[in-house]
Amino acid sequence: MATIINLTPHEVKLVTSEGVKKYTPSGKIARVSMTRELIRMVDGVFAYRPIPGEVVDLPSPQEGVYYIVSALVRTALPERKDLLSPADFVRDEDGTILGCKSFDCN
- Provide the pLDDT confidence category of residue 17 given band limits of 50, 70 and 90: very high
pLDDT of residue 37: 97
- Provide the pLDDT confidence category of residue 38 given band limits of 50, 70 and 90: very high
Range of the domain at 38: 3-105
Q: How many domains does the chain divide into?
A: 1
HSE of 7, CA atoms in CB hemisphere, 13 A: 26
- Provide the pLDDT confidence category of residue 29 given band limits of 50, 70 and 90: very high
Q: Is it the case that residue 1 has pLDDT exceeding 90? A: no
| Tens digits of residue pLDDT in 85-106 | 999 999 999 999 999 999 999 9
| Tens digits of residue pLDDT in 55-83 | 999 999 999 999 999 999 999 999 999 99
The DSSP result for 33-95, as a single string, is EEEEEEEEEETTEEEEEEEEEEEES-PPP-TTEEEE--HHHHHH-TT-TTEEEEEEEEE-TT-
